[in-house]
């Protein structure tokens, strides 16, 4: 096996802890189930459950240098993708919604997936994230230089859906802590989890509003841009190696979009692979990205 291959083995084995496996596997389903029933997240039952998991008034690590040097030290294990003629055929109909997409996605880079509406951007990230259960992928995908099934990697992949799904009557910190509690490996100490939570809050620029309630249409809470960053935080606290995002800046003004993109750059800097779908970014935001994959009508790379 090549050195890249053995690197991958190390990467996989470091994440093959049972708790990690089940937590991250469940994270994928929790994200999708949450998206199908967003209203459930704010039910009284869930709030009670979350209260028992939360202990918000605890010691915090507020030293940014310490957090970044320690918790967010550059990742030893990284994930690079190479795909050739990647496609997706919808099960049952055999309709092709993604066709012959070839390219590379590098770790420590932010790759923007762009193209007109209906081009297959969401399909592309969903397929690469191994979450396109409704279709059969075609073509070859190499991960760290070796052809491997995407399923092997689902455990280290975070997927940030377009809708922000969180408990509106909890604070930013409580939401992120709840996610950290349920998704970080069970063999991590509570102290380690809290440090990771606080580092995530820092890197996403949410420190100043960590005690603010999310809020909803009736009760004013944090802004739309802040909510998008909390949404990223909910995935970050699963300690992923790859983060896929579907339109994290849509509906935001340019300043808020820039804040989201800054956060993505910072996350990429620690070695994560970031792939984000973007719709009509302004020039300054476009310049923030390392790589761009442009899709055209029919799900083909342009
Ligand atoms: N599960 C599905 N079944 C049938 N058609 C689909 C499915 N998912 C996506 N498509 C079709 O594939 C095309 C690309 O969709 P999508 O990836 O959502 O585009 P984008 O995100 O670029 O706007 C669209 O024409 C859409 O109707
Ligand atoms: Mg889309």
User: What is the C-alpha separation between 98 and 120, in angstroms, rounded?
Assistant: 6
User: What is the C-alpha separation between 293 and 302, in angstroms, rounded?
Assistant: 8
Measuring from atom 26 of ligand 1, which residue has the nearest CA?
Answer: 118
Measuring from atom 3 of ligand 1, which residue has the nearest CA?
Answer: 90
Is 110 strand, coil or helix? strand
Q: How many angstroms does the Cα of residue 273 sit away from the middle of ligand 2?
A: 20
Q: What are the beta bridge partners of residue 81?
A: 105, 143
Q: Which of 94, 123, 293, 298 to mutate to test the pocket of ligand 1 (most atoms within 8 A of CB)?
A: 123
Residue 218 in tokens: 């009736």
Domain that holds residue 263: 3-36+63-301
- Structural domain includes residue 18: yes
Confidence at residue 236, expressed as pLDDT on a 0 to 100 scale:
93
Measuring from atom 27 of ligand 1, which residue has the nearest CA?
Answer: 118
User: What is the C-alpha separation between 25 and 105, in angstroms, rounded?
Assistant: 23
- Structural domain includes residue 250: yes
Confidence at residue 54, expressed as pLDDT on a 0 to 100 scale:
44
- Structural domain includes residue 44: no
Q: Which residues line ligand 1 (CB under 6 A)?
A: 90, 97, 115, 117-123, 134
Ligand 1 atom at shortest distance from the alpha carbon of 295: 22
User: What is the C-alpha separation between 290 and 113, in angstroms, rounded?
Assistant: 11
Q: Which residue has the tokens 């052809």?
A: 147
Q: What is the CATH number of the domain that holds 282?
A: 3.40.50.300
By the 10 Å C-beta count (0-12 exposed, 13-18 middle, 19+ buried), 152 is classed as: middle
User: What is the C-alpha separation between 102 and 93, in angstroms, rounded?
Assistant: 24
Q: How many angstroms does the Cα of residue 116 sit away from the middle of ligand 2?
A: 9
Q: What are the beta bridge partners of residue 112?
A: 276, 292
Domain count, the chain: 1
Averaged pLDDT for residues 205-226:
92
- Structural domain includes residue 187: yes
Q: Which of the four pLDDT bands, split at 50, 70 and 90, describes residue 55?
A: very low
- Structural domain includes residue 246: yes
Averaged pLDDT for residues 262-267:
92
Confidence at residue 182, expressed as pLDDT on a 0 to 100 scale:
93
Say if residues 274 and 203 touch (Cβ distance below 8 Å).
no
Question: 97 or 5, which is more confident?
Answer: 97
Q: How many angstroms does the Cα of residue 292 sit away from the middle of ligand 1?
A: 20
- Structural domain includes residue 47: no
Q: Which of the four pLDDT bands, split at 50, 70 and 90, describes residue 99?
A: confident
Averaged pLDDT for residues 257-266:
92
Say if residues 225 and 260 touch (Cβ distance below 8 Å).
yes
Q: How many angstroms does the Cα of residue 263 sit away from the middle of ligand 2?
A: 21
Residue 18 neighbours by CB under 8 Å, 6+ apart? none
Averaged pLDDT for residues 229-248:
94
The dihedral sign for the CA sequence 207, 201, 257, 78: positive
Averaged pLDDT for residues 28-44:
37
By the 10 Å C-beta count (0-12 exposed, 13-18 middle, 19+ buried), 218 is classed as: exposed
Say if residues 176 and 184 touch (Cβ distance below 8 Å).
no
- Structural domain includes residue 45: no
Q: How many angstroms does the Cα of residue 212 sit away from the middle of ligand 1?
A: 36
Measuring from atom 4 of ligand 1, which residue has the nearest CA?
Answer: 90
Q: How many angstroms does the Cα of residue 237 sit away from the middle of ligand 2?
A: 24
239 dihedral zone (left: phi>0; alpha: psi -120 to 50; beta): left
Residue 139: which of 72, 84, 205, 67 has the closest Cα?
A: 84
- Structural domain includes residue 42: no
Measuring from atom 17 of ligand 1, which residue has the nearest CA?
Answer: 120
């Amino acid at each position: 096996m090549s050195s890249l291959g053995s690197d991958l083995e190390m990467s996989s084995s470091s994440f093959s802890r049972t708790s990690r496996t089940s937590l991250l596997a469940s994270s994928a389903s929790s994200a999708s189930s949450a998206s199908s029933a967003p209203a459930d997240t704010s039910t009284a039952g869930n709030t009670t459950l979350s209260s028992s998991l939360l202990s918000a008034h605890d010691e915090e690590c507020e030293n940014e240098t310490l957090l970044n040097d320690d918790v967010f030290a550059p990742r030893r294990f990284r994930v690079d993708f190479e795909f050739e003629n990647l496609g997706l055929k919808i099960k049952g109909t055999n309709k092709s919604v993604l066709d012959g997409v070839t390219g590379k996605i590098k770790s420590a880079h932010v790759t923007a997936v762009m193209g007109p509406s209906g081009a297959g951007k969401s399909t592309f990230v969903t397929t690469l994230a191994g979450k396109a259960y409704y279709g059969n992928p075609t073509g070859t995908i190499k991960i760290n230089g070796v052809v491997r099934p995407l399923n092997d990697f689902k455990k280290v992949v975070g997927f940030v859906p377009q809708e922000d799904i969180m408990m509106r009557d909890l604070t930013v910190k409580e939401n992120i802590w709840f996610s950290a509690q349920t998704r970080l490996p069970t063999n991590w100490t509570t102290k380690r989890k809290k440090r990771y939570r606080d580092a995530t809050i820092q890197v996403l620029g949410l420190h100043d509003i960590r005690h603010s309630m999310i809020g909803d249409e009736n009760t004013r809470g944090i802004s739309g841009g802040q909510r998008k960053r909390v949404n990223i935080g909910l995935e970050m606290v699963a300690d992923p190696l790859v983060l896929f995002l579907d339109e994290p800046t849509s509906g935001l003004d340019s300043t808020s979009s820039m804040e989201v993109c800054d956060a993505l750059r910072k996350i990429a800097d620690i070695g994560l692979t970031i792939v984000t779908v973007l719709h009509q970014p302004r020039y300054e935001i476009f310049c923030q990205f390392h790589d761009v994959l442009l899709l055209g009508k029919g799900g083909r790379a342009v």
